[in-house]
Chains A and B, each alone.
Chain A
């Protein structure tokens, strides 16, 4: 019989039950979804790292490595396996596309994963194993011929396999590009046999077999231990990058870290609101059921039975919300993690399986237990004392006088204002929950839309304006002198850069030396304003300034790889930069005696008018970089759309639930007002105005809170972009209007109910 009552009561309080289930489902969904995202990413990455033998260390040398060098590295204790490796950007014939052509002696390290076609054959002299993504985007099929050119060499081969590789998990030509764009950039492997075939005999005689400028190593050693051992084995200082310093690992793991942050912040917000709303809702329901609880008790039902009965409501809400939430979580997880979803445009993985982390189930079980406990405690409170005590209807807390009431301002307030104000203070939990919901809604809106403003400003300043050239010309540093490079720069009215890697302590940084005379490259400072570089010092990026605590006037000492020479520079300023870099003018570099080699030109000259020239490796148009942003912004827009939906749902559910509760709690008072002669509209406006006050307060708190959360997210999730938070007036306006609209719409929905107040029935009820 009690079971029937359970279901009938569920129906009676359906608005509260449904909104609670939605709240829990949203919280669980966001929790499961985001945690599933990073956990699944981690698992799927583990698979490709292991299937392709992702290397732990990469040793670089511009002079190349001999087979003897490789043997020396392989012989090191702690080294599991190693390979000589080469990756160069080649141009596809009759096209501006580029393909990173890879030659690898030992496919157990930094190898490939075959998706279609023939297995890799190390003896094949014409086989090309091409990125399946590039093939799909460019309509290249198995068996098609492809001609790739590098400098004066060209290779024509047949596409024998379509592949993926952990080395190109995030396939970007350089750090200026944010997102892979397989329509114009991909990667391919050829065998050492095919590579040898294209190197002319005379050249081979000159350089021997030292054309591999990279050794990739699998090893459990720490970086410091490995560098020490490798430098000793090869007898020189080496540029070694650990896997943590590679794009494929750092960025992919960055996504995992981002997922972990998102998986903790957003769900906490949603679950906290859900649990807190549950406290007020369960209290409200048990309070209205108090006489029934008393009746059951006086009939002879044991407290434990009654407790079980009413706790079952909370348990059911928890279970139903969780089941629905798991569904939402899977949907959210799938939305981000599927072969054609948001993450797949960034990371090129072979598998996209979804996994829920083990702790997800623990948190879920814990949450259901907490919800049930909340229900239990609410009933326990109503059962206190004798059966006669339990039979008495619930009386809300008595009104107390506030110090505020003595003020003239308070006395001058209208009755409606006083009524609402005292009601808010009397039902503090309900008021706080409503406020919490509105602040949450605002945080999501300001954070989400502000993220877009920030990204827009970032793209505008960092790329649209800072990249003030049409084409980037990459020079062949092996064959070009600075004099030749400068005459090319003059010819194309170009600015230029000499980029190299240096180390400060044991960390590697990019050193960029610029010759700027045509305003082709601009440098944003911390406030996103462009500065002209001074000739009296070097500039560090914001991350370096923060990590190393550097300020203008401080000194910084670095040394190039392959050299023991040290250079000390004075910090002239801090710049925002995507790459962790030190920037200086050519003049300052000469002042400190640093010898540089120009390797890039920046010009407005038309790509077709540049080259062919033996000194030019390739030309990268600005447009290719800008195109990759479209994808980045598309992803961003999807995320923002989700956040805005979540904000609106959160706002509606919380406000509606608490609005209904406020309505129920004030039902009798409203009936009294109606009897006294107040019209429905007047009573409705009293109800709505309370909602609107809380909305104003919530908005006032939510605006800075949203900006604060965004700032935190930018630091926690996107430190590498060195973005400066930018929130436009439109974002504030839209967030405020949307929150107000939600509040007003919900207020109207609730206020409409007062037309149905049955004055006679309401006032008959005993207090």
Chain B
């Protein structure tokens, strides 16, 4: 079953007379419950794709349907509801609220997400049950990223969008985070979409989407994705 469908989607940025096509007539279909990696060099348009999918940005042309809902024509408030209910975000730089504790950072989603899960459970599942009263600045980078994942998951979203989630982490911590993300897909049935330029991560994916110059070069399913431990980091 398709959970994401891009139909002839373009995103054009205009700056005076200059026009930049970040995405150019993209068509893409992604299935539910898969671990998907979007690969491509810098400036290829992969982050734009993720931002459109996450409701942070709207397409200039085309239609994006996520979980049966056309999100390309939503108002600002409807997009906020979409972000609150359907997608969760994990960033390279974590983006936690520095003035809230770990538990509070996760619990804050209860204010907006109707299907929110227990914050304690989420933090336990990412292995941070002992750090719930710490402030983000008191945690390591990997721990902060795990809080960010717990926060994203606490909304109980259909899709988890991750923008270079291991980009700021050392390889050991990166592996830990990837293992966590993978288990979310395998055990919880979440659709995980990771944007990265790291080829190694792609080897773990169920589906690999190759992006270049604003276009989809390929969208291939991998029959035998590797486990995290099998990938040479």
- B-contacting residues of A (Cβ < 8 Å)? 396, 398-401, 414-416, 418-419, 422-423, 426, 668-669, 671-680, 682, 755, 759-760, 763, 765-767
Contact = CB atoms under 8 A, between A and B. Distances in A.
Interface string B113-155: 1000000000000000000010111100000000000010001
5 contacts: A415-B104, A415-B111, A416-B111, A680-B76, A763-B91
B99 A414 contact: no
Interface string B83-100: 111000101011111111
B40 interface: no
A423 B80 contact: no
B57 interface: yes
A676 B100 contact: no
A626 B57 CA distance: 71
B89 A676 contact: yes
Contacts of A400: 135
A426 B104 contact: no
B27 interface: no
Contacts of B56: 675, 759-760
Contact of A677 (B51, B84, B97): B84
Given A414-B111, A669-B98, A676 B84 contact: yes
Contact of B135 (A398, A675, A676): A398
B83 A676 contact: yes
Given A414-B111, A676-B108, A677-B80, A399 B89 contact: no
A426 B136 CA distance: 14
Contacts of A672: 95-97
Contacts of B91: 763
Given A415-B104, A676-B83, A760-B57, A422 B99 contact: yes
Contact of B112 (A418, A669, A678, A760): A678
A767 B112 contact: no
Contacts of A398: 135, 137-138
Contacts of A760: 47, 51, 56-57
A666 to B, nearest CB: 9
Rank and list the top 7 A-B pairs by shortest CB-CB distance, nearest first: A677-B84, A422-B99, A677-B83, A399-B135, A415-B108, A398-B137, A679-B80
A430 to B, nearest CB: 13
B212 to A, nearest CB: 20
Contacts of B111: 414-416, 678, 682
Nearest to A427: B99
B112 A763 contact: no
A767 B107 CA distance: 23
Given A398-B135, A677-B85, A759-B56, A418 B93 contact: no
Contacts of B109: 676-677
A418 B100 contact: yes
B95 A668 contact: yes
A668 B94 CA distance: 11
Nearest to B57: A760
Nearest to A677: B84
A679 B77 contact: yes
A396 B136 CA distance: 13
B54 interface: yes
Nearest to B86: A677
A342 to B, nearest CB: 50
Contacts of A676: 83-84, 89, 108-109, 112, 151, 155
A766 to B, nearest CB: 6
A401 to B, nearest CB: 8
Given A675-B56, A675-B89, A676-B112, 8 more contacts: A415-B100, A415-B104, A415-B107, A418-B104, A674-B83, A676-B151, A679-B80, A767-B94
A399 B99 contact: yes
Contacts of A763: 91, 93, 95
B83 A669 contact: no
A675 B95 contact: yes
Most chain A CB within a 10 A radius of its CB, from B51, B56, B94, B135: B56
Interface string B169-204: 000000000000000000000000000000000000
Nearest to B168: A766
Contacts of B61: none
Interface string B23-54: 00000000000000000000000010001001
B75 to A, nearest CB: 11
A677 B83 CA distance: 5
Contacts of B8: none
A419 B77 contact: no
A695 B76 CA distance: 31
A755 B84 CA distance: 17
B77 to A, nearest CB: 6
B3 to A, nearest CB: 18
Contacts of A668: 95
A422 B151 contact: no
A416 B95 CA distance: 17
B100 A677 contact: no
A767 B85 contact: no
Contacts of B80: 674, 677-680
Contacts of B54: 675
Nearest to B56: A759
A767 B54 CA distance: 22
Contact of B97 (A419, A674, A679, A755): A419
A396 B97 contact: no
Nearest to A683: B80
A400 B133 CA distance: 11
Contact of B93 (A426, A675, A767): A767
A765 B104 CA distance: 23
A736 B40 CA distance: 59
A423 B112 contact: no
Contacts of B89: 675-676
B95 A423 contact: no
Contacts of B47: 760
B136 to A, nearest CB: 8
Most chain A CB within a 10 A radius of its CB, from B99, B100, B135: B99
A682 to B, nearest CB: 8
Nearest to A668: B95
Given A677-B80, A678-B80, A760-B51, A419 B57 contact: no
Contacts of A679: 76-77, 80-81, 112
A419 B98 CA distance: 9
Contacts of B136: 399
Nearest to B51: A760
B77 A669 contact: no
Contact of A675 (B77, B83, B138): B83
A199 B152 CA distance: 106
Nearest to B110: A415
B113 A677 contact: yes
Contacts of A419: 97, 99-100
B211 to A, nearest CB: 17
